[in-house]
Amino acid sequence: MVLTSSARRCALCFGLNHDFSEKSGQIAHVDKNRSDSSYDNLVWLCLEHHDRYDSRTSQSKGITKFELRDYRDKLYAVVENITENLSRTAQIAPDLERAQTDQDTKRNERAEELYLLVQGWSATVSAIYRNLHLLVEDRITFNDHLDAVISLGKNNPGEFAKLSMIVNMYFPELKLDLAKAQIATSKSSQITDKLREEWESDYYDGYRYKDELREAEAKMHHYCRLLLDRVADIVRSA
Ligand SMILES: [Zn+2]
């Protein structure tokens, strides 16, 4: 009982020096009376402290039995606390493992959802670029283009918002790739602004933006492709 209560930590090393290490030692009698071996009269002391405690003849100079009991009881409380925590951790370990598995499963499901969202978003952006080509070539009016963009947004409401939310919550490692793809696609609105001004002028010449549009489109495809590949890697590794 004394051995397990103290876990072989010396009550005086603990009480006087805050030393909680395991010691080779002996069971000592608190009141130095060997005939009383009740639990309350016993304590684990290291060899050095046992010698010193027993050799004190005058208790006023040495450690009193009250102090010793106090240190001992505090030590027992600490040992009990640690033992309890260890067994509690052992009890909840399966729960923690299950929670981790659930989270992995959720991430895998989200990865597949993200793949579809990125694919859909790339298709939406590609459609916008296709329309811009028609506008540049003067085959549709600026209003036709706006209608097309608006209906694309209506068909896929909140597509990009959802996509970036999933990246932020579950795949922060993709944030940079997403930002690059987003910057590459946002070039379409800059070109749209220029074409609107052009459209409002008397002599429409959208064709001079053809190269800029091609270049922006290639970049957009490149970065969307990269993002999609990275999501595909995550889905595969799951
Ligand atoms: Zn000691």
User: Would you state the pLDDT for residue 61?
Assistant: 62
Whether this model's pTM surpasses 0.85? no
User: Would you state the pLDDT for residue 237?
Assistant: 85
Residue keyed to tokens 């097309």 = 148
Q: Distance from first CA to last CA of the chain, Å, rounded?
A: 50
Q: Residue 78's CB: how many other CB atoms inside 10 A?
A: 14
Q: Are 166 and 178 in contact (CB under 8 A)?
A: no
Q: Residue 101 — left, alpha, or beta (φ > 0 → left; ψ -120 to 50 → alpha)? A: alpha
Query: In sequence order, what are the beta bridge partners of 46?
Result: 25
Q: Residue 133's CB: how many other CB atoms inside 10 A?
A: 15
CA of 86 to the centre of ligand 1 (A): 25
**Could you report the average pLDDT of every consecutive run of 10 residues in the chain (238 residues)?**
92 93 92 90 95 71 88 94 86 82 85 94 94 93 90 85 91 94 90 89 88 95 96 88
Q: Are 200 and 160 in contact (CB under 8 A)?
A: no
| Four-residue CA torsion sign, 82, 69, 33, 10 | positive
CA of 31 to the centre of ligand 1 (A): 17
Q: Which residues surround ligand 1, an ion (CB under 5 A)?
A: 10, 12-13, 46, 49
CA of 178 to the centre of ligand 1 (A): 61
CA of 36 to the centre of ligand 1 (A): 22
CA of 85 to the centre of ligand 1 (A): 25
